[in-house]
Structure 1
Amino acid sequence: MNRANNTILALALMVALCGAASAAELHVGTGQTYSTIQDAVDNATSGDTIIVHAGTYAEKVTVDKERLTLKVHDGDEVTVTVTGTDFWYDDVFVVTADYVNISGFTATGSGYGAGIHINEADHCNVSDNTISDNYYGIWLSASAYDNKVTGNDVHDNEYGIKLDGTDDNEITCNRVHNNSEYGIKLDDADGNEITCNRVHNNKHGIEIHSAEDNEITCNVVRHNSKCGFYLEGGSINNAIENNTIIENGGYDPATDGWQWNFNNQQSDNVSAENNYWGTADQAVIDASIETDSGSVDYEPFNNSPCPCAPVPEVPASSAKELHVGTGQTYSTIQDAVNASLLGDTIIVHAGTYEENVMISTPTLTLQGEDRDVVTVTAADPTGNVFCVNYVDYVSISGFTVTGGNYGINIGSEADHCNISDNNVSNNRNGILLEYSNCYTVIRNNIVKSNAGNFGYGINLQYQQDAHNTITGNDISDNEYGIHMFWSSNNTITCNRVHNNSCGFYLTGGSINNTIENNNIIANGVYNDTSGGYEWQFENRQPSSVN
């Protein structure tokens, strides 16, 4: 019996080893084995990996073999743009085989086709691609099942992501924006999971037509020009919950509502419970919902942005360190950011770096060796030294930041960021949080001598229900130490705010903030008559402040 078992085990090992030996890497690019991606696909066998090196490839790529992986060489930028006599109607990538992975590419230029088209293929992964200037960005069609579309930037297409007669797919953690029509559309598509996506600045955010039993959760649907959600044609039994649905359509000052955050153009009733609508006022929520003959049940609703994480956990094995500095892999911080992927850490070594850094990778850590030895000064003084937009979980620490309009700008829809242990000095303004950043922490920074037209040390504006934390900072010699405009539900504690022209300045509906245990010293001009400083704390709004 033991001998029989040993024989079976030996045979199994031989099969496994033969399978491992048969998998190969095929390299594409200048000086590589293959000059086109299609040549590599044509010569590949099941289980192979095709690695594409830097460059622009003018070709249509048809992947018709199972279990192939197509990816960009680490640190390279690869653009694939469709070409040929029928380029106007061709897809850039079309996948007709199961278990295909495509990651890291820019796919562009298909007039009436798709950047990436999964056609009658199952179990495929499309991740970390940039898809722009196509008719469809990413298109799943004709009974394509159990595919995963994750971490892609889909923008400036006619249509963003379309699921067309396809079920049980996962569309997660994508940024879908500035597409002419819809961001994400489900058309006769059932049982799909649409979660943790940022869908903004499209015509329709998420459109659902004759689609059932989908889970649509934890998305941010914002600033879409006509409506946030649009439902029609028997779209029933969908779980639409824990989304942030705000500022879609046009603002109506008469009702304070948005027309429309949600539009149900069907006779079926829709449940949209536990979402955040940007307000706790039911009259305003009602004014932001349009219906035909079917109702929208939105109660109960959330009173603050939904806390479910917009990015997935990063496997420890996939995260990497990128080093910047003399003798390191990258000479500029921006080059390292451009090469980074979700979960990476950028280590910046001692030196002075003259650049304006735009950060568009989520879950990214930028770590200076120490703020005393790493200085980043703006190459363009009218721009911001560090700027973060539309990505979450970015950490910036260990830098001296100087010479910009703002030293650090955490801009539109960038949540859960961490700004700590920096010296943000001698900019026109110090640190800015604007347009509904949530759950960001600004901790243990020196914010000094920022004295432009306004000269804000730390500026929070349009931060309603933001739940940011400002703590342990030394804020001095600015025009305004901490400035707040239309910002609520933030915690500002244990800061030293001193020797600014104005210590705190609140205006425009900045309410329900926790402002306590701060040292507010010698701000403004000393008044000999009163024996006090003008102004330590200035509240320029009708609401009272504690």
Structure 2
Amino acid sequence: MNKLIILLMTMLIFAFGSGIGAAEEFYVNSTDSIQVAVNNAGSGDVIIIRPGTYTENIRITEHNLVIRSESGKPEDTIIRANPNTSAFYVAAINTTISGFKIKSGETGIYLTGCSGCTVTNNDLSDNKLGISLSNSNHNEISENQVNSNMLYGIQLVSSEGNKILNNSISLNNRGINHLTSNKSTISGNNVSNNRDYGMWISYSKNNVISGNTANETSRGIHLDSASDNEVSENIVAFNSVSGFYECQACRRNLVYNNYANNFLNANINTRDTTWNKPKTQGRNIVGGPYIGGNFWAKPDGTGHSQIEPDADGDGIIDSIYIDDSGNIKDYLPLAPFSSPQKPVLPVANFSVNITSGYAPLSVLFTDRSENAVSWSWDFENDGKIDFTDKNSIHTYTIPGNYTAKLTVSNKNGMDSKTLQIIAEEFKVLPVADFSASVMSGYAPLSVQFTD
């Protein structure tokens, strides 16, 4: 009896201690309000939205919230904004918004004064602006579908150090509208088939624009009063007005290892741009063995890289490319080797030794990713990085359903994978037992029962 009491007291103490400061999960049904759940949530909580259509505008000012769809499929969890408002208005740090189809808003997702936020795996369409960041630093916008918005797919204004990665952005007036914003990484995006501009980069500096596809728009990549930017490994083709553009006020941009195939590949109004790097061994964008300048093609086959010789077969055209204006001088234009080579992107993958069991549950996470150079483990999918080595062991001390997330990256982009882990509550069931002083005898029979 005493042992049972001690065991029960120990379990109560463990449960009480484990619950202190624990994040809560709020589930929202289609008949409920997401805003009510947000208002009731505290820092670190997770709000899980079940499939359905929600017509409301969600304002987020509490820090460290995760708001995600239960299914992870944007097509079945729809946020329809009230007219002339933002579907999600975020003025907080470390907010994650994931897994929604967002439509009909002035802005689908609007971040102001934010940092450390993640917007991923959403479908934003039929808004005036898809995603907009204002005075927001060090956020990540990745793997979203941002199509058919009236003005811009993704906009940054007066922001710094943000990552715009692996988004599909088409059928907007401008794919990416990037104003007075610095130190952005814009990589792995498809900004094709927009009406006026694939990218408009204006009054911005120290940005890295790499590995994007900007095809079949009026203007592909347009730099306006932009300085000290690196533009590389992009495919810019079949744009009706120009592939690249720079105004007279552009300074010290580096443009190399791009594939250009437009009737007007570049409308350049400055001579302060560098068009090649020193010849360096490495696979270039058209499969050649050296990194140098750019591949200059034209749809009719008369581009400099298409008609000029490469006598020594090193993948570098023997003659300098100088455009008609004299503003472009590419000393190492690329020769054809193969079709344009898209940058090698990482592929996230991992395995575990167990996916369910009683808490405390220790799980061994083993990385199986490809082409990765960095790893970020978020064992509870709460937007917080828990570990940055390739492999890890994590213990789930509190019972619950968890989503473990691995994000891997290399210089060309990033990728993520998730897996559900279930830590079950260990329940001590009662076991009935007793003894009797005597089992039989003559009536009247007195029996003493002992539990």
CA contact (8 A) 2:115 2:138 kept: yes
Deviation at 1:314, TM superposition (A): 2.0
CA distance in 2, matches of 1:82, 1:288: 40
Change beyond 3 A, Cα 1:261–1:298: same
Q: 1:308 aligns with which of 343, 346, 352?
A: 343
Deviation at 1:17, TM superposition (A): 3.8
What SS does structure 2 have at the residue aligned with 1:229?
strand
What SS does structure 1 have at the residue aligned with 2:209?
strand
Q: 2:143 maps to what in 1?
A: 151
Deviation at 1:114, TM superposition (A): 1.1
Q: 1:275 maps to what in 2?
A: 258
Q: 1:289 aligns with which of 266, 279, 292?
A: 266
Find out whether 1:59 has 2:94 as its counterpart.
no
Q: 2:127 aligns with which of 96, 115, 134?
A: 134
Deviation at 1:185, TM superposition (A): 1.8
What SS does structure 1 have at the residue aligned with 2:44?
coil
CA distance in 2, matches of 1:16, 1:160: 47
Q: 2:163 maps to what in 1?
A: 170
Deviation at 1:134, TM superposition (A): 1.1
CA contact (8 A) 2:72 2:99 kept: no
CA distance in 2, matches of 1:167, 1:14: 43
What SS does structure 1 have at the residue aligned with 2:131?
strand
Taking the TM superposition and a 5 Å limit, the aligned residue runs for 1:486-497 are none
Summarize deviations over 1:31-88 as a string: whole Å, max 9, x none. 7xxx0110110011111111101111000001111111001112651110112xxx31
Q: 1:241 maps to what in 2?
A: 232
Q: Which amino acid in the other structure matches residue 347 of structure 2?
A: E
Q: 1:401 maps to what in 2?
A: none
Taking the TM superposition and a 5 Å limit, the aligned residue runs for 1:3-152 are 17-18=18-19, 22-30=22-30, 35-74=32-71, 77-83=76-82, 87-88=83-84, 90-110=85-105, 113-142=106-135, 144-152=136-144
* Higher RCO (CA < 8 A, seq sep 6+): 2
Q: Which amino acid in the other structure matches residue 147 of structure 1?
A: N
Change beyond 3 A, Cα 1:30–1:109: closer
What SS does structure 2 have at the residue aligned with 1:38?
helix
Q: Which amino acid in the other structure matches residue 289 of structure 1?
A: A
Q: 1:197 maps to what in 2?
A: 189
Deviation at 1:265, TM superposition (A): 2.0
Change beyond 3 A, Cα 1:305–1:55: same
Summarize deviations over 1:277-332 as a string: whole Å, max 9, x none. 14xxxxx78x42112345654341144423313x54324369xxxxxxxxxxxxxx
Change beyond 3 A, Cα 1:208–1:75: closer
Q: 2:222 maps to what in 1?
A: 230
Q: 2:244 aligns with which of 252, 262, 272?
A: 262
| Percent of aligned positions that are identical | 28
CA contact (8 A) 1:264 1:295 kept: no
CA contact (8 A) 1:243 1:306 kept: no
Summarize deviations over 1:321-357 as a string: whole Å, max 9, x none. xxxxxxxxxxxxxxxxxxxxxx9xxxxxxxxxxxxxx
CA distance in 1, matches of 2:204, 2:153: 17
Q: 1:160 maps to what in 2?
A: 153
CA distance in 1, matches of 2:131, 2:148: 12
Summarize deviations over 1:209-239 as a string: whole Å, max 9, x none. 0000001111111111x20011112x01101
What SS does structure 2 have at the residue aligned with 1:272?
strand
Change beyond 3 A, Cα 1:238–1:293: closer
Higher Cα Rg: structure 1 or 2? 2
CA distance in 2, matches of 1:56, 1:316: 33
Change beyond 3 A, Cα 1:266–1:133: farther
Change beyond 3 A, Cα 1:182–1:190: same
Q: Which amino acid in the other structure matches residue 98 of structure 1?
A: I
Q: 1:217 aligns with which of 195, 206, 210?
A: 210
CA distance in 2, matches of 1:43, 1:98: 17
Taking the TM superposition and a 5 Å limit, the aligned residue runs for 1:297-376 are 297-299=274-276, 300-302=293-295, 303=336, 304-309=339-344, 312-316=346-350
Q: Which amino acid in the other structure matches residue 152 of structure 1?
A: N
Deviation at 1:248, TM superposition (A): 1.2
Taking the TM superposition and a 5 Å limit, the aligned residue runs for 1:170-189 are 170-179=163-172, 181-189=173-181
Q: 1:487 maps to what in 2?
A: none
Change beyond 3 A, Cα 1:97–1:151: same
